[in-house]
Amino acid sequence: MYWENELETLKRTDLEKLQVKRLKNTIQAAMNSSYYGNLYKQMGLSADSVKSVSDIRKLPFTTKQNLRDNFPYGFLGLPQKELIRLHSSSGTTGNPTVIFHNRHDIDSWANLMARSLFCAGVRDTDVFQNICGYGLFTGGLGFQYGIERLGCLSIPAGAGNSQRQIKLMQDYGTTVAHAIPSYLNRLFEVFQEEGFDPRKDTKLHTFVIGAEPHTEEQRQRIEEMFGVKAYNSFGLSEMNGPGVAFECTYQNGLHIWEDAFLIEIINPDTLEPVADGEIGELVMTTLDRQAMPLIRYRTRDLTRILPGACACGRTHVRLDRIAGRSDDMFIVKGCNIFPMQIEGVLMKIPEVGADYLITLETINGSDEMIIEVEVKKDWFNGDITRLDKLSRLITGQIRDEVLVKPLVRLVEPGSLPKSEGKAVRVKELRKALNS
Ligand code: AMP
Ligand code: ZN
């Protein structure tokens, strides 16, 4: 029933004891890095400062900017000889974020991944196709090690080339696949172009989807299109990558592995903890990482802890689906809007196709939100009245959701630009913000 019986079902009091013990070790290891070493000494902090989980609040937050300012080695707690791998983000907007691992870290990550996959119902009898870029991005190797640890037959397919993905699925009888949700809409279109129905022409029963924000509506579409169960996987490179929080087969929130990560939800403005069950920014501390521990890392991801216990028996708390990142939010005509609010509306409308793009532009001195929406093939047939009706329906529903009337443009399926990796949902062209 569980991958690691004892750890996954620990009594809360025992889990907290383990967390305190591991937190102390983490502080000690972190103090070997120049960043935490200097900072904590200056502030008079050490492992002894922590006697309970809530004592973590005595320690300062760590931000992405801190990581960038101390790039590449400032957070490293071990000599280079001990390290066996690094992963890093692209760094298009400054220094990349790099995370170093020693053998223990890679081993413990593989275990968390295997545990996560088992939790979503994957077993060693499955054939697992990982449709994800291998390389510095964590979704490739991170999953690979977990799939192998669990004992599935792994197909390290990599990203892109949809025809080849479909062929692999058919040749080897893939039963489980991992991909980012925005790609799966595209993959489905290619299935159709090739004259296949994934429900009938593959053995797929499970998808693992994650690495980018998506809505419940999007999940349901994927489940219907492919005839599978789709489980949400959350992670970030700073916390290894995937294997941080995962849905179990009850699909009611993501169990976050609290023996490996200590979590807090804070109000991003006051930096104080939010009340139980409220949405705030997720703050995370590694509890089982040796090479590069991170303490009170501000993820910028917005979520909440779901109340109550899960019927699966795991005692680790469940996070709600990520509502967005605090830096994803944009303001139009005084209204705060998250892209996922718009996706939620669009994905409920059956005529809407795979993709959409929100462009923010100043038109005649006024901020406008233009939403280009791909429409399914059989709808895009030149029947202007029908399209006009659909456009008005979308406009009205989005206005009701976000309180701003968008300019909706319906476009042909496949016509919006596709990004290499995670989907880009918002294009900011407003003058005031760019000057
Ligand atoms: P990276 O470190 O480049 O892999 O990006 C990590 C970020 O991707 C997280 O901080 C989230 O903002 C986002 N992310 C990852 N998994 C999910 C998920 N399941 N749902 C929503 N956002 C996600
Ligand atoms: Zn559960």
The alpha carbon of 255 and the centre of ligand 2 are apart by a number of angstroms equal to 7
Which neighbouring-strand residues pair with 192? none
**For a substitution probing ligand 1, which of 261, 318, 322 has the most ligand atoms within 8 Å of its CB?**
322
Taking only the tens place, the pLDDT of each residue in 92-124 is: 667 889 999 999 999 999 999 999 999 999 999
DSSP sequence for 133-192: --SSSHHHHHHHHHHHHHTPEEE---S--HHHHHHHHHHHT--EEEE-HHHHHHHHHHHH
Q: Which residue's alpha carbon is nearest to atom 10 within ligand 1?
A: 236
Nearest ligand for residue 312 CA: 2
Q: What is the pLDDT of residue 435?
A: 42
Q: What is the pLDDT of residue 433?
A: 54
The alpha carbon of 11 and the centre of ligand 2 are apart by a number of angstroms equal to 15
Q: Closest by alpha carbon to 101, among 245, 295, 235, 294?
A: 294
72 cis-preceded (ω within 30 degrees of 0): yes
Residues of the chain with pLDDT under 70: 90-93, 432-435
The alpha carbon of 235 and the centre of ligand 1 are apart by a number of angstroms equal to 6
pTM of the entire structure?
0.93
Nearest ligand for residue 118 CA: 2
CA distance 325 to 327: 5
DSSP sequence for 349-386: STTEEEEEEEEEEEETTEEEEEEEEEE-GGG-SS-HHH
Name the segment(s) of the chain with CATH classification 3.30.300.30: 330-434
Which strands form 407-411's sheet, in the order they lie side by side? 407-411, 366-375, 352-363, 426-428
CA 4 to centroid of chain Cα atoms: 23
Pick the CATH number of 1-325 from 3.40.50.2300, 3.40.640.10, 3.40.50.300, 3.40.50.12780: 3.40.50.12780
Helix, strand, coil tally for the chain in percent (to 5)? 35, 25, 40
Q: Residues enclosing ligand 1, CB less than 6 A? A: 89, 138, 210-213, 232-237, 241, 299, 301, 322, 325
Taking only the tens place, the pLDDT of each residue in 123-181 is: 999 999 999 999 999 999 999 999 999 999 999 999 999 999 999 999 999 999 999 99
**For a substitution probing ligand 1, which of 116, 134, 212 has the most ligand atoms within 8 Å of its CB?**
212
Q: What CATH number labels 330-434?
A: 3.30.300.30
Spell out the residues 6+ positions from residue 162 whose beta carbon is closer than 8 angstroms to its own: 186, 187, 190
The alpha carbon of 66 and the centre of ligand 1 are apart by a number of angstroms equal to 19
Nearest ligand for residue 120 CA: 2
Q: What is the pLDDT of residue 328?
A: 87
Cβ 176 vs Cβ 144: under 8 Å = no
Name the segment(s) of the chain with CATH classification 3.40.50.12780: 1-325
Cβ 391 vs Cβ 398: under 8 Å = no
